[in-house]
Amino acid sequence: MARNHSPAELEALRKGILSTRDPHKPLITLCSGSACQASGSKEVAASLEAEIEKQGLSEAVNLRKTGCHGFCERGPIVVIHPEEICYFQIKPEDVPEILSQTIQEKKVVDRLLYTDPVTKEKIVQERDIPFYKYQERLVFGSNGSVDPKNIEDYLAIGGYAALAKALTGMTAEEVLQEVKKANLRGRGGGGFPAGRKWEGTRQAPGDIKYVIVNADEGDPGAYMDRSLLEGNPHAVLEGLTIGAYAVGAREGYIYVRQEYPLAVENVFIAIRQAEEYGLLGENILGTDFDFKVIVHQGAGAFVCGESTALMTALEGRAGEPRPKYIRSNIVGLWGRPSVLNNVETWANVPLIINKGADWFTQYGTESSKGTKIFSLVGKITNTGLVEVPMGTPLRDIIFKIGGGIPGGKKFKAVQTGGPSGGCIPEHLLDLPVGFDELTQAGSMMGSGGMIVLDEDTCMVDVARYFMAFLTDESCGKCVPCREGMRQMLKILTRFTQGQGKEGDIELLEQLSETAIEAALCALGKSSPNPFLSTLKYFREEYEAHVREKRCPALSCKALIAFHIDPDKCQACMMCLRKCPSEAIVGGKNRIHVIDQEKCTKCGTCFEVCPPRFRAVRKTSGEPVPPPIPEEARTIVRESKPK
């Protein structure tokens, strides 16, 4: 006989969290995405399995290894349902206590809870933790509750209901119109409306058409697509299948980089299971719609994420872009009409079909609807994946969700849009995130990389870093990209080495103009963005590098120097002992001195000098004072009164 459920159980049942297992049993979910695996979740899983057995709990508890929960800074994460007790940074040694206390005794283990950094209070449930509280996890939320290797989990949360609705209750045209009405814009880069792209393919002549998932994701610091594919591959497959139905495709491809082995593994499993359940293959759900999906593992070149390069690579040739005289939704893969969309774009489709365009468009701004997943990384307290409604101010993402800048440092800028994006300065922190808003600010949405930079970051060096990345990744097919970027990189490197010349900034601007005008694909065309956006907001830093050979952020090695203030040095020997190049001379009761010839500017002395002395000084653009003469180096200490 069924017993009455507690409110928490009912809520969990409603969300489908417990539904593929006996809902009366507690469920332990363990984040098993790549990031948590790197911090030991495999070992925690092994320990949980062994300890469940040991404590005789095999019949009393369910264990589910899920995808990424998003709060990567605090992984591995364990959540105990239905109470949603959330434990962070779990080690195998914590497991016996979790099982004996929380599962058996129904007690919370305080030391494993999240501590609010402001109030110092312990927080039990995920939804009360600021990192999660201010998010709207429409697309990413299921990652934490389904086992990506088990299709039944996805079915239990209503998975494939949208496909059933589309195939049995809607015409292909109606599906297309719903996606158009939702104004779903591409989450992979340009923000092109998916419905319009699909419409072009649907209306294009020809019987053979393709749909493709872009899971190349080569941006440094970005891992939204990897986590979605690893954690909820069926959502992407379902979206892709609905898209295929809408445009009249019978074949689809998932282009995923082979450096994402867990994503690749889970996608293969998901395809096999969907085929077994009649959700892929012939006569899907008993209709006359056939659709098969092929996985292509990319070799990991950033340019292969570009639409035409990706299609060329799929055709088995070197992944280089081709001119887009005709859009690839009309003439794409093997010359056939092809819809290419990003992982996250596809994952939004089942939601739109299930809940309708009107529901979807309540989220977001006038021109950017729905939510967006960002990977929040860099100088930020809470590194992780966050999903917020479009229109959320940057300030909320960085400070409310991200917890601000660690180490008491000041925020300087946030780099959005991947290597071809731009840097947004502090005075624009209230900018709402949206495709058009970010572009107007000189950056872009890109696929959702968000790298936070603090006061110690040199903006000239940031531009140099991204230019170096893009120069490396240029396929070399067109001259403005191949040669232009190389020259831009040379100039930017000169700046950071104190060899900038008058006129160099203007030369960079000219080269930028040429690349924007003449490069073949968006890699080259957008390559000047990091330079142009940092110049727009931080021109004084460029001028300091070129004119004064000074790095205001005290970051460019060639432009900084370390020396020890003789009035503050207490001869504690910390810097002397730690200096890896033995560049510090001194001794007990002898004021230390840095040998500038030997110093490699690694900054170790600066870091280890005790805060109560602050004797090591880091400077730029000013001469290093001459070393204190030998005879004046002895510290005479007053003897303590007896």
Ligand X SMILES: Cc1cc2nc3c(=O)[nH]c(=O)nc-3n(C[C@H](O)[C@H](O)[C@H](O)COP(=O)(O)O)c2cc1C
CB closer to ligand X, 5 vs 482: 482
CB closer to ligand X, 352 vs 405: 352
CB closer to ligand X, 103 vs 521: 521
Q: Which of 306, 461, 504, 541 binds ligand X (CB under 6 A)?
A: 306
Q: To the nearest whole angstrom, how small is the minimum distance from the Cβ of residue 321 to ligand X?
A: 8
Q: For residue 79, report the phi and psi dihedrals to the nearest 5 degrees.
A: -120, 135
Taking the C-alpha atoms of residue 304 and residue 311, their distance in angstroms, rounded to an integer, is: 8
Q: Taking CB under 6 A as the rule, does residue 187 contact ligand X?
A: yes
The 10 Å Cβ neighbour count of residue 205 is: 6
Q: Which stretch binds ligand X (CB under 6 A): 30-38, 48-56, 94-102, 298-306?
A: 298-306
Q: Taking CB under 6 A as the rule, does residue 192 contact ligand X?
A: yes
Q: Taking CB under 6 A as the rule, does residue 190 contact ligand X?
A: yes
Q: Taking CB under 6 A as the rule, does residue 340 contact ligand X?
A: yes
Q: To the nearest whole angstrom, how small is the minimum distance from the Cβ of residue 38 to ligand X?
A: 21
Q: Taking CB under 6 A as the rule, does residue 298 contact ligand X?
A: no
Q: Taking CB under 6 A as the rule, does residue 199 contact ligand X?
A: no
Query: Which structure tokens are listed for 38?
Result: 């790197």
- In DSSP notation, 142-169 reads GGGTS-TT-HHHHHHTTTTHHHHHHHHH
Q: Which stretch binds ligand X (CB under 6 A): 187-195, 555-563, 609-617, 634-642?
A: 187-195
Count of residues engaged in binding ligand X, rule: CB under 6 A? 23
SS3 518: helix
User: How many residues are recorded in the chain?
Assistant: 642
Q: Taking CB under 6 A as the rule, does residue 189 contact ligand X?
A: yes
Q: Which stretch binds ligand X (CB under 6 A): 146-154, 212-220, 561-569, 594-602?
A: 212-220
Sheet holding 27-31, edge to edge: 62-66, 27-31, 78-81, 85-87
Q: Taking CB under 6 A as the rule, does residue 341 contact ligand X?
A: yes
Q: Which of 302, 374, 466, 562 binds ligand X (CB under 6 A)?
A: 302
Q: Around 276, how many Cα atoms within 13 Å sit in the side-chain half-sphere?
A: 9
Q: To the nearest whole angstrom, how small is the minimum distance from the Cβ of residue 525 to ligand X?
A: 8
Query: Which structure tokens are listed for 374?
Result: 């960002």
Angle between helices 343-355 and 161-169 (to 10 degrees): 60
What dihedral do alpha carbons 564, 565, 570, 573 form, nearest 10°?
A: 0
Binding mask 344-363 for ligand X (x = CB under 6 A): -x------------------
Q: Taking CB under 6 A as the rule, does residue 320 contact ligand X?
A: no
Taking the C-alpha atoms of residue 192 and residue 229, their distance in angstroms, rounded to an integer, is: 22
Q: Taking CB under 6 A as the rule, does residue 183 contact ligand X?
A: no
Helix boundaries (H) for 315-364: 343-355, 357-360
Q: Which of 231, 305, 389, 404 binds ligand X (CB under 6 A)?
A: 305
Q: To the nearest whole angstrom, how small is the minimum distance from the Cβ of residue 186 to ligand X?
A: 2
CA-based torsion, 552, 555, 561, 567: positive or negative: positive
Q: To the nearest whole angstrom, how small is the minimum distance from the Cβ of residue 350 to ligand X?
A: 15
Chain residues 394-453 in contact with ligand X, contact rule CB under 6 A: 447
The DSSP secondary-structure symbol of 81 reads: E
Q: Taking CB under 6 A as the rule, does residue 71 contact ligand X?
A: no
Taking the C-alpha atoms of residue 131 and residue 200, their distance in angstroms, rounded to an integer, is: 40
Q: Which amino acid is at 362?
A: Q
CB closer to ligand X, 29 vs 307: 307
Q: Which stretch binds ligand X (CB under 6 A): 200-208, 338-346, 549-557, 577-585?
A: 338-346
Q: Taking CB under 6 A as the rule, does residue 496 contact ligand X?
A: no
Q: Which of 188, 248, 350, 434 binds ligand X (CB under 6 A)?
A: 188
CB closer to ligand X, 229 vs 521: 521
Chain residues 504-523 in contact with ligand X, contact rule CB under 6 A: 521-523
Q: Which stretch binds ligand X (CB under 6 A): 54-62, 73-81, 241-249, 337-345?
A: 337-345
Pairing label, strands 411-416, 422-425? antiparallel
Q: Which stretch binds ligand X (CB under 6 A): 173-181, 340-348, 459-467, 510-518?
A: 340-348
Strand partners, 373: 387
Residues whose CB is less than 8 angstroms from the CB of residue 72 and which lie 6 or more positions away in sequence, other chains included: 33, 35, 36, 383, 384, 385
Taking the C-alpha atoms of residue 182 and residue 186, their distance in angstroms, rounded to an integer, is: 12
CA distances from 307 to 237, 258, 320, 321, 564 (A): 19, 18, 10, 8, 54
Q: Which of 30, 95, 303, 554 binds ligand X (CB under 6 A)?
A: 303
User: Which has the closest alpha carbon to 492: 525, 454, 523, 465?
Assistant: 465
Q: To the nearest whole angstrom, how small is the minimum distance from the Cβ of residue 243 to ligand X?
A: 10
The 10 Å Cβ neighbour count of residue 547 is: 12
Q: Taking CB under 6 A as the rule, does residue 240 contact ligand X?
A: no
Residues whose CB is less than 8 angstroms from the CB of residue 16 and which lie 6 or more positions away in sequence, other chains included: 145, 156, 157, 158
Residues in contact with ligand X by CB under 6 A are 186-190, 192, 214, 216-218, 302-303, 305-307, 340-342, 345, 447, 521-523
